[in-house]
Amino acid sequence: MGVEKWKKQSYNKIQKQCIALGKLWEDPLFPPNDGSLALTKTSYSNIVWKRPSELCENPKLFVEKASSKDVTQGSLGNCWFVAACSALATVKPLWKEVVPDYKLQEWDDTERERYAGIFHFRFWRGGSWIDVCVDDKLPTINNQLLFCHSTTENEFWSALLEKAYAKLCGSYGALHGGNLCDALVDFTSGLSEMIELKENGYKTDETARNKLRKQLLRKHEEHALMCCAISARDSSEFEVRTKTGLVVGHAYGITAVQEINLGSTGLLSLFNSTEWNRISLSEKEKLGLTFEEDGEFWMQFEDFVAEFTDLSICHLINTSFFTWRKTWRETFFKGEWTRPNLAGGCPNHESFLQNPQYIFTVPSDDMEIIVQVLQTDKRGSAATYNSIGFHVMKVEENREYRIHTRKKKVVTSDYVNTRSVFFQGTLNKGRHALIPTTFEPNIETGFILRIFAEEYINVVELTEDHPMPMWICAPFCTVPTCVTSIVVTKATQLTQSENTYCIIKVEGESLTSEVVYNSQDPEWNLSGVFFRYNLSKPIFVELWEKKILRDRFLGCAVVTSAADNDTISMKCPLVGKGKNKNDKHPGFIHLQVATYEDLKTL
């Protein structure tokens, strides 16, 4: 996807204009005033906006290189943003995406006349990368940066990145309190997953704990960004330090994950305890296990799951930066929940099917998929996030129109009032419908649907309830008069064949099953939905044997179905077709059929 310029501000154009005029840029859309701050504390009344050159000599965007140890939180309650920055700084290819042309943006002491006081950063929002320009005026008190800053006095990347993100969100105040996952997604276009460590019992459940440990090791190898936190049960706990020194409500970036076998004990450790003393200095250096007073610390995994309550993982899927062990193929949609027909709420409500619907076919059993639903970002506004989720159902193999009757449930996600929901799991072969929803009906907002699969799957939005009129001979047109549902469950007593499949034929349309091998009683459970134009025409269910050169016809069932709204189960003998329609063939076809006059029944 391309890069959009925020409010049409072009970094290159503005930079050239300022150099030509010999002046530093002042951003008219995010000026150095109270509106850009949007803060309530009266202690901020003596804020002065200053450029880096007014704060130190030889200012730099980066000193040496970006590091997770660079970022220090200021007086703004945005530890979630700072933790995300720390995690991002550990993955250089991703970092270069957020800070484009970072070498060209650096101060050049040999060409100071070309410095224009403008920087730009990129964030992923609403399905696109957004390029945000900022001037270099930063809020200070007593000549010190008020908010995010580097541990190195003359390094300013973190302060400028924070300013760009504040501009995107509306103000610095909009960054007070937030969600780790949101920042990670905005930095990477990845898929966020929130894991509740306490609620899921990882402290006491050894099996679950080992599974999570392996997952974190794998995700670290795949350059996933991870952060953790201790949630506060109420406001009195916020900013309280635990016995181990961790701060409740504070976000921590996970910058490394290592697995170490500590000799004969067989103890597997992750992330300071006496066990570390048993590791040689050379091994520590090899693994990057340093213990400096720089804000970074290590923990054993057992302590990690016991101390922290929440873990945020940003999965980096299908990017061009890395070579993955698994290739993912993405499908992307922008949609809206709108009244009266596309805001039905979750499956708890009768109006559930009045939501956007998406259809796709899974080509093989146990195919892994990843689904993310994101609602429109609300940071910086007075609105709160709606509780959202999605539901997946198994549907007829030839379904092409909207669903009006609930089908077999395959997956229902958790419903959470966050910007996005995430699911990773497997689906079996067949046609499926995915329905993203708000929890309550009649909630209107936009959303993005992202589906990743191991193989290519064609995802289509269902927008029509039934076929539109077909023009046969102007000015006459024809419309369906009814709709038929048919399920071919199985065949029995096929004494002369084993490798068989069936074909449903209805008024020129056909639907073919898979071949069932080595069985004289094959089961297919092939389901189809057919819109009818001439109910007097029969339905044919043909049975065929798979052959190397030419498949062999084994007979068919001829079915008529009145529009009586009843489902009828049938055991039909096999007969011939055409001139041989009265011929008898060994075996029976078992099916269920129903026809309805209301085209919105199924």
Q: Is 364 exposed, middle or buried (0-12, 13-18, 19+ CB in 10 A)?
A: exposed
Q: Can you point out the beta strands (E) in 230-277? A: 251-254, 260-261, 268-269
473 carries an active-site annotation: no
Helix ranges, 204-361 (H):
206-221, 281-287, 301-307
Q: Which residues contact 227 (CB under 8 A, 6 or more apart)?
A: 80, 83, 84, 87, 180, 184, 251, 252, 253, 254, 311, 312
In whole angstroms, give the CA distance from residue 312 to residue 314. 7
Whether the bond into 340 is cis, omega within 30 of 0: yes
Which is catalytic among the residues 272, 417, 428, 565?
Answer: 272
Q: Can you point out the beta strands (E) in 110-168? A: 118-125, 128-135, 138-141, 144-145, 149-150
Q: Is 473 exposed, middle or buried (0-12, 13-18, 19+ CB in 10 A)?
A: exposed
Q: How many CB atoms lie within 10 A of CB 327?
A: 10
Strand duo 388-394 + 584-596: pairing: unpaired
Instruction: Give residue 493's Cα distance to chain centre.
Output: 48
Q: How many CA atoms lie within 13 A of 14 on its CB side?
A: 20
Which is catalytic among the residues 120, 220, 223, 250?
Answer: 250
First to last CA, the chain: 37
Residue 566 · residue 545 · CB < 8 Å: no
At which residue do the structure tokens 């329609």 appear?
A: 581
In whole angstroms, give the CA distance from residue 136 to residue 110. 19
What distances in angstroms separate CA 352 from CA 392, 402, 460, 497, one per listed residue?
12, 12, 19, 45
Q: What is the full DSSP assignment across 426-478? A: EE-SEEEEEEEEESSTT--EEEEEEEEESS----EEE--SSPPPEEEETTEEE
DSSP label at 592? E
Which is catalytic among the residues 79, 148, 227, 228?
Answer: 79
Q: Which residues contact 275 (CB under 8 A, 6 or more apart)?
A: 262, 267, 269, 300
272 carries an active-site annotation: yes
DSSP label at 239? T
Residue 190 · residue 316 · CB < 8 Å: yes
Phi/psi of residue 579, each to 5°? -65, -20
Residue 130 · residue 155 · CB < 8 Å: no
Q: Residues with catalytic annotation?
A: 79, 250, 272
